[in-house]
Structures are given as C-alpha cells and as structure tokens.
Amino acid sequence: MSVFTRRVRGFRLIDVVALGLLVLLIMSVYLAKTMASRERAQIARVEREISSETARIRLLEAEVAHLEQPSRIERLSTAYLEMAPVTVDQETTPDTLAIVALPKVSRP
Amino acid sequence: MSLGSGVLQRRFPFGLRWLGAGLWRLEHAFERARASGRAEDDARIRIFFVMALFSLGFVALAIGATQAALFADAARGGAAGWISPQARADIVDRHGRLLAADLPHYGLYIDPSEVWDVAATRVALRAALPSVDHERLERALTGDRRTFLTGGMTPVERAAIHRLGLPGITFEPEQKRVYPLNNTAAHLIGFADTGGQGLAGAELALNDEIRNLAGAGGEVALSIDLRVQGALEDELRKAALTYGPRGAVGIVANVHTGELLGVASYPDFDPNNPGSASPEARLNRAASAVFEMGSTFKAFTVAVGLDAGVATMASTFDAREPYKLGYRTIHDYHASRKILTLVEVFQHSSNIGTAKLAVGVGPERLSRYFTDLGLTTAAAIELKESASPLTPKVWNEDAVASTSFGHGMNVSPLALTRAMLPLLNGGKLVPLTIHKREPGFRPPAKQVLSETTSAQMLQIMRANVTGGSGGKADAPGLSVGGKTGTGEKYDPEIRRYNGKRQVSSFAAVFPSDGPLENDRYFVLILLDEPHGTPETFGYSTGGWVAAPATGALIARIAPFLGVSRHVGPMENQPRLASIQTPAAGGDL
C-alpha cells in the first residue's frame, strides 16, 4: 500500500498530511506577522521615546548654554559671590606653592 | 528526439533545456504508467505534482511575507532619518560649547469645524497668546478651513495651551534656529532665516557646510573660545559704558594660525530676534566698518622701513621742528622737539619721524608693502561682511606721509588685524579664519616680511608698553607689547578732520618675548568716537581709553590661552635699553 492510497479514518493520508502542512504554514505566517507587528510597534514606541528624549536633551543643552552665558555668570558671580577676575598676586605655580605656604615675615 | 534536442541546444539556455528535459521525462513516466495499466497512478502523480507546485508557491509567499513583516523596518528607518530641508547643523565654539542649534518648536493650528465654543476659545487663546493679532485669531476661528495661527512655540508654551483642553486646537512640529547665548558673539555667529538660509555672520559664511552637516548630525566648530569671547565683550562693554563711544570693536587672534578667538562689536543685538535690532546694532564693525586707524599704522611703516633696509633700530630722526612736505606741515601730537631713535619715534608716536621714514621708503615700495600686507584689499576671511578699504587714488609723497601715520586710508579692524599678524609671527601673511584649526596647524602663508623684522617689531612694541604711549596696556608678567592709535574722523559738516571725533584704538601682542614660533596672540580694542572723562583728564586717545581695556582683557584671557605669567626680578625691565641709546644711523 503506497503513501498515496493509504487511508486514515476514510481520508487519504496524503491529503491529511497536506492539510496539516497547510494549516501549519498558515499558522506560522500568522504568528510571524503578529509577532512582527508587535515588535514593530515596540520598536516604533522606543524610537518615539528616543526621539522625544533626544529633543529634550537638546532643549536642556540649549537651556544650559543659555544659563551659562559668560555675561550672566559674570553678573551673578559679581553680584552674589563678590567674585572678580583673578589678579596677578592671586596666581601661583606648583613650584612656588611652598613659598606661599611660609608664614609672612615682616620686613624691615 | 535528437533533432528536438539539437534545436533546444541551439535556441535555449541550459536552465530552460533542463526544465524541458524534466517535463519530457515526467510525461514519459505518465505514458509508462498508462502503458502498464496503472492509469490511476498517472492522475495521482499529476495531482501530487500540481499540489507540490502550489505548496512551493505558498512557501515562497510565506517567506516573502515573513521577511516583509520582520525586515520592513529598514525602509521605515529611512523615513525616520528624513532631514528637513531647512535643517542646519549646530554651531559650537572651539571647545564644543553650543552657539546655535535647531530646536523643536510647534506651530498652532485651528480647525473651526471642531471648535465647540468659539467665544470661550477666543478668550482662552487671547489670554494664553497675547502677542497674536486679534484679527488673525478671529479669522482663524470663523474661517471655513484649518488655519495656521502662530509658530515657533516652545514645548512649554505648547503644553500650556494643550492643558487648556480646547477642541479644534492642534500642533505640528517645526524646527527653529535658536541662539541660546543671545547677544554673545552675535555678530560673528550671525543668524539664519526661517527657510534655513544663513543671512549674516558664520551662518551666512559657512551656509553650505552647515546645511550639509545637518544630515550627518555633525556640528560646525568655530575658532572662537567662549571664555575669551565673554571676557572680550565684558571689557569692551565696560569701556563703552565709561567712554560712551558711538561703537566699539574687540578682536583676539592667534598670530600663527589666523584663528579669531574672539570678535566683538558694540552695540550688539540678539540674533534670536534680529528684526527688532537697529541697523547700527546689527552692523558688524569688526568686518563691515572701515576707519582711519591713526597711529597703529605706524607699526606698519616702521616694519616696512626696517624690512626695506631704509632704517635700523638705531636710526635717528630729527623731530625738533615740524616737517614740511609740499603744501602741508606735519606736527607731532606729543611734540618732543628732539632727535628720536626709531624706537622713540614709535614710543612717542611721532608723526614727523614716521613721515620722514615713509618718505625714505618711497611711494612705490610703501604701496607695494601695504598691498603685500593685505591693507589694500578686503580682509581675507570667510565672513561675507568683510569690507573693502578706502585707499589713496595716487601713491605720491603726500599719500605716503599721510598713510604712514594712519591717515588717508580706511581699513576694517579685521584688515588691520590681518596685516598686523606678519609683524608678530615671523613675517607670514596668514589668512584670518573663523574655523577651528587643529593644534599645531600652520596655514600656508606668503612671507611678506623677514623674520628679523618681525622679531624687531616684537621688541619695539614691547618697548612702547614699558616706556611709551602704551603703558596703560601692561599686564604684569605677560610681556604685553602694542601700539596706540588715535585717528581723527573726517567731518562732512565742517569739511575737514574734526579733532573731537576720534577713532581710538590699541593694537597689542602678548607675550612679546620668547622665540618667534611660540604661541602668541594679537588683541585689538577700538572705540569709535569715545568721550574723555575726568579720570582721563578729558583725553579720549587710544592710550587713555583703549589701552587700559586691552591690558585688563589680556590679564583675564591669558590663563584661558595657556599663557603663563613670568613674574620675577626681570619683569618689566626695558628689553631695549641697549638699543634705545642713539647710535650711528641715518638721520631721516
């Protein structure tokens, strides 16, 4: 009895196998499409989030640049911290730090 | 069969021949099945064959569908990477600090068909958007189609409107060029229009580069250092507030690379809203305005005299009497009435001595040197605003005498800067640039002065600060050199030069000591029509109003530029003590 003539509960085995394969293929395509669309939606959501975060980062960078304007920093540091540009007598080098650390001696 | 095979071989390629042979064999199999009395096998084989073909086709379709579903993102990625035609790349300073950027903004649209309560919407929008014209709002609310109401809304403004919960109000994203530093470096950065085209400054000069880089997500790095720029603008503003000039200019440049580390023009404006600024404020005086610079030009004359071999550092000039040249008589502003060495001519800013030196050089040579120094053409730089100079029509002795001390020739501050660099960098005419250069970069440059001349000019300029008219520009330990300049302006109302309207400047270099190839910086501070104060005894000359600002600026920016102070027993000792003594030399 060949595979083409063998019957299972009145149905040819070859037909049953073919139908099973067909259903498997349909299911696999359906699953692939469904999973893919879910993944795609997730990817799109993440991309939207990235885009939104990138825009926020750029806005914050611009805000930081705006707040760190040299003229603004200068105005605030002068007004609230009484700071001023460094003068020559406020500068030193690592080599002369030891001299700066010495106690001041009154000269005649 | 053999005939058929022969025809097939001649007419068809191998693939078709193989398929044909296969079908031929299959047909023979059917014939054999029929001949052996198994006709039903023949039908089954045919059914199996057709089903197999269908299955194959279905599998192919399934693979195609799965692939399309899984890998369709590649095409979508292209859409996500779409760049607006108006997009422009970020502009940053040499250390990457943001100067200009495209930021997301929103346009507000009204669809009247979806507005439930026109009166309530009108009241809410008038309160939320007071700047929007009432008639425009009315037209949008009562029109028959979706209408654009206003654009350039920040996300915060959009959220505020969104919270009102008004039906019929929608937003669409749009890009807007933003300058987060407002007035800082406004003239250098410039501005662009809403269509993404640069209109001024770097935005115009580097328009193509900025637009091309927008797609690649890159940024354009300018040569300026924001810290230097901030200090420059601050010192310039302080000087402007003290002396009340009509305008002011500040420039800091690297003498070897030609990079502009700071460029300021006063008054300034906010490039976020250039339309509201006056033309006076928008004018980039560093590039677009030309001035008779006055005595800063003496640096060129002295350099030319030295380079042409007409004078040496030890040459002397008789400045005891005014110098008569043709119909005119040249006087000294600070009349010393003595014989001056070349260095003293520079230190006392002697018009007589400089004119005599220039006459010794001669019209042809002086004009050739001035051309070589780039003083007769617009400053070579990317900025489109770079103005052409006003030069003498005829280079005769009169023109030579005038231009030798900075009269009769108008140049832009940038042109003056460019011409000054060869005096300070070993004689090379480097092009100015607003592009950041890599450390150690040396642009190809024409040798217009000898290295010896350049070294001598550094010494002379230093001597002018330690013992000449530029004393107020000194910054302890930084070996500042420089030249004052005070040019009277031509007054059309009185049809002659007006002594009360001056252009006062100071052109400085620091550090002036060390080998020629050392890092070195040029600084120019210029005030247009300053007014003297009681502290300056009413004087508004370069030495009184521009030199102090220059010294203060240099003291502030030296640490940013890596120039360390050398404070010690030798500091501020006149370096030219040996050559300031009159010695053998021509008395011109």
Ordered structural domains, chain B, with CATH: 90-221 (3.90.1310.10), 229-268+281-534+543-555 (3.40.710.10)
Searching chain A, which residue's CA lies closest to the CA of residue B42?
A4
Residue A20 counted as domain residue: yes
| B109: pLDDT strictly greater than 90 | yes
Searching chain A, which residue's CA lies closest to the CA of residue B175?
A55
| B583: pLDDT strictly greater than 60 | no
- Per DSSP bridges, beta strands B90-92 and B219-221 are parallel
pLDDT band at B509 (very low <50, low <70, confident <90, very high): very high
Chain A residues contacting B via beta carbons under 8 Å: 4, 14, 18, 21-22, 25, 28-29, 32-33, 36-37, 39-40, 43, 47, 51, 55, 58-59, 61-66, 68-71, 73-74, 85-88, 91, 93
Candidates B70, B153, B270, B560, partner chain A, best to mutate (most A CBs within 10 A): B70
Does residue B53 belong to the interface with chain A, where contact is any CB pair within 8 Å? Answer: no
Q: What is the DSSP letter of B541?
A: S
Phi, psi torsion values for B289, nearest 5 degrees: -100, 145
| B441: pLDDT strictly greater than 70 | yes
Query: Would you say B507 and B296 are in contact if contact means Cβ atoms under 8 Å apart?
Result: yes
| B28: pLDDT strictly greater than 90 | no
CA distance B273 to B437: 30
In this predicted structure, what is the pLDDT of residue A1? 63
Q: pLDDT tens across B443-457, in order?
A: 999 999 999 999 999
Residue A66 counted as domain residue: yes
Asked if A36 lies within 8 A of B178 by C-beta distance, the reply is no
Cis peptide before B511 (omega within 30 of 0): yes
Residue A62 counted as domain residue: yes
Verify whether residue B295 is a known catalytic residue. yes
| Cβ contacts from A onto B, under 8 A | 99
Contacts 24+ apart (CB under 8 A), A51-59: A51/B80, A55/B103, A55/B104, A55/B155, A58/B101, A58/B103, A58/B104, A59/B103, A59/B104, A59/B155
CA distance B466 to B343: 12
Candidates B38, B58, B171, partner chain A, best to mutate (most A CBs within 10 A): B58
Candidates A14, A22, A35, A66, partner chain B, best to mutate (most B CBs within 10 A): A66
Which residues in chain A have their CB less than 8 angstroms from residue B100's CB?
none
Phi, psi torsion values for B353, nearest 5 degrees: -65, -40
Which residues in chain A have their CB less than 8 angstroms from residue B66's CB?
29, 32-33, 36
| B215: pLDDT strictly greater than 90 | no
In this predicted structure, what is the pLDDT of residue A79? 93
User: A71 lies in which domain range?
Assistant: 7-85
Residue A95 counted as domain residue: no
- The average pLDDT across B15-28 equals 82
Residue A93 counted as domain residue: no
Of the partner residues A25, A62, A85, the one whose CB lies closest to the CB of residue B180: A62
Query: Would you say B498 and B533 are in contact if contact means Cβ atoms under 8 Å apart?
Result: no
Instruction: Point out the catalytic residue in the list B223, B265, B288, B295.
Output: B295
Searching chain B, which residue's CA lies closest to the CA of residue A14?
B48
Query: Would you say A54 and B155 are in contact if contact means Cβ atoms under 8 Å apart?
Result: no
- The average pLDDT across B59-76 equals 67
Tally of domains in chain A: 1
Strands (DSSP E) found in B242-347: 247-254, 260-266, 291-292, 316-318, 323-325, 328-330, 339-341
Asked whether this complex has an ipTM greater than 0.90, the answer is no
Least confident of A9-13, B230-234, B407-411, B468-472: A9-13
| B344: pLDDT strictly greater than 50 | yes
Q: Count of alpha carbons within 13 Å of B148, Cβ hemisphere only?
A: 9
Residue A105 counted as domain residue: no
Least confident of A4-8, A25-29, B93-97, B544-548: A4-8
Q: Count of alpha carbons within 13 Å of B2, Cβ hemisphere only?
A: 0
Searching chain B, which residue's CA lies closest to the CA of residue A32?
B66
Asked if A40 lies within 8 A of B72 by C-beta distance, the reply is yes
Residue A29 counted as domain residue: yes
Q: B526 burial class (0-12, 13-18, 19+ CB within 10 angstroms)?
A: buried
Using H for helix, E for strand and C for coil, what is the string for B125-193? HHHHCCCCCHHHHHHHHHCCCCEEEEEEECHHHHHHHHHCCCCCEEEEEEEEEECCCCCCCHHHHCEEC
| B581: pLDDT strictly greater than 60 | no
Q: pLDDT tens across B265-324, in order?
A: 999 999 999 999 999 999 999 999 999 999 999 999 999 999 999 999 989 998 888 888
Asked if B234 lies within 8 A of A71 by C-beta distance, the reply is yes
Does residue B227 belong to the interface with chain A, where contact is any CB pair within 8 Å? Answer: yes
Of the partner residues B44, B475, B552, the one whose CB lies closest to the CB of residue A4: B44
Residue A1 counted as domain residue: no
CA distance B482 to B26: 102
Asked if A29 lies within 8 A of B62 by C-beta distance, the reply is yes
- Per DSSP bridges, beta strands B90-92 and B191-192 are unpaired
